[in-house]
Amino acid sequence: PMFRYERPQKGRFRQFYQIGVEAFGAAEPKLDAEIISMLKLFLERLQMKELKFEVNSIGCEKCRPDYKKALMDFFSAKVADLCPDCNRRYINNPLRILDCKSSACTELRKGSPKIIDYLCKDCKSHFEEFLSLLNLLNITYNINPYMVRGLDYYTRTTFEITSEHLGAQKTVAAGGRYDRLVEEFGGPSTPAIGFAIGMERLIEIIKNVNPEFCIPAPKVFIAVIGKKAGAEGLLITEQLRAKDIQAELGYDSASLKSQLRRADKLGANYVFIIGDDELKSGMIKWKNLKNGSQGEMGIKDVLKFKGLD
């Protein structure tokens, strides 16, 4: 678990869990678009609805200093009106003023310079190609010029996915490119991008928008008896999954009786039983957990089993 120092709010808990996704080694915007496409597909598989994708570029260490100066010039006459946090940020990290949720700061930042107008040639080209790829993938997005990151190792692409079902704290997932992170820890220059999803927020949205959502029951449960059978069971399970057949594997440390109970609890349609005897004969037992019918089939015929059509 992770713990938050700030005041808890709806969708922003004191203790929470995150799903993290990282990709290292490629700097081209194709990876940025692929990461967002993967995130979109993941959320769609969870039947998530009414999501908004926001993107921005925060440039690099070459073009960001000019933008910081422009921001400081813009806010110089408004420093006294900023919230206490942003009053401190003005000197050390003026970019953070842009994503402050204070109503006063939100109002004061209107008309502030946009970082995309200060991008160097390389960062501008990177951002334009990234947007072009999102268009190619039919991913609808908004450019949010106020979406920034507070740490210097972040570079270029930033993105967030939001939902109106979470109240004020509406971010479901957030990420960006952090090409300088590895260097910050003393490693070689290594481009990277990733995102994090708040699990509790995800669950809350699913409950609100799709209370009937459930994980589909496996079509088949592979019950195994013994280590050799366990290895064969793993092979069969992965072969079934490769054919888009939902399969669940039991473990040889559990008794056959407990594995069958688990298969029933999961709602599996069939159970395939593999043990030493089955390995010797080349035949495995199967049972239909819905109507009680049962029989045998050759191990090599598993993928042809009619019940899995």
187's enclosing H/E stretch is none
- The ranges of the chain annotated as CATH 3.30.930.10 are 14-63+119-209
Question: What sign for the dihedral angle of Cα 113, 159, 34, 140?
Answer: negative
**pLDDT tier at 169, thresholds 50, 70, 90:** low
pLDDT in tens, 43-68: 888 877 778 899 999 999 899 899 99
* C-alpha–C-alpha distance, residues 98 and 92, integer Å: 14
| Residue carrying the six token digits 């040639």 | 121
Mean pLDDT of 67-71: 91
The pLDDT value recorded for residue 230 is 85
Alpha carbons 183 and 187: distance in angstroms, whole number: 5
Task: Quote the pLDDT of residue 168.
Answer: 57
Residue percentage of the chain with pLDDT more than 90: 37
What kind and span of H or E run contains 272?
Answer: strand 270-274
- Look up residue 44 and give its two tokens: 């769609």
Q: Which of 108-112, 151-155, 217-221 has the lowest mean pLDDT?
A: 151-155
3-state helix, strand, coil in the chain (%, to 5): 45, 20, 35
Domain with CATH 3.40.50.800 in the chain: 220-308
> What's the average model confidence in pLDDT over 239-255?
86
pLDDT at res. 130: 95
Q: What is the pLDDT of residues 73-86, one digit of tens each?
A: 999 988 888 998 89
Instruction: Give the homologous superfamily in CATH for domain 14-63+119-209.
Output: Bira Bifunctional Protein; Domain 2 (3.30.930.10)
Q: Which of 24-38, 90-104, 244-258 has the highest mean pLDDT?
A: 24-38
Predicted pLDDT of residue 134:
94
Question: What value does the mean pLDDT take over residues 108-135?
Answer: 94
Of the pLDDT bands very low, low, confident and very high (cuts 50, 70, 90), residue 301 is confident
Average pLDDT, the chain: 87
Confidence check: pLDDT of 177 > 80: yes
In the predicted structure, residue 281 carries a pLDDT above the cut 60:
yes
Does the structure show a pLDDT above 60 at 114? yes
What is the rounded CA–CA span in Å between residue 122 and residue 128?
Answer: 10
pLDDT of residue 70: 92
Domain at 220-308: CATH architecture = 3-Layer(aba) Sandwich (3.40)
How does residue 91 score in pLDDT terms, banded at 50, 70 and 90?
Answer: confident
Q: Give the pLDDT band of residue 172 (cuts 50, 70, 90).
A: confident
H or E element that contains 19: strand 18-24
Q: What contacts 74, CB < 8 A, 6 or more positions away?
A: 111, 112, 113
Sign of CA dihedral 251, 256, 261, 266: positive
- Please give the pLDDT value at position 153: 82
Place of tokens 């598989």: 45
Reading the block at residue 95, the tokens are 């970019």
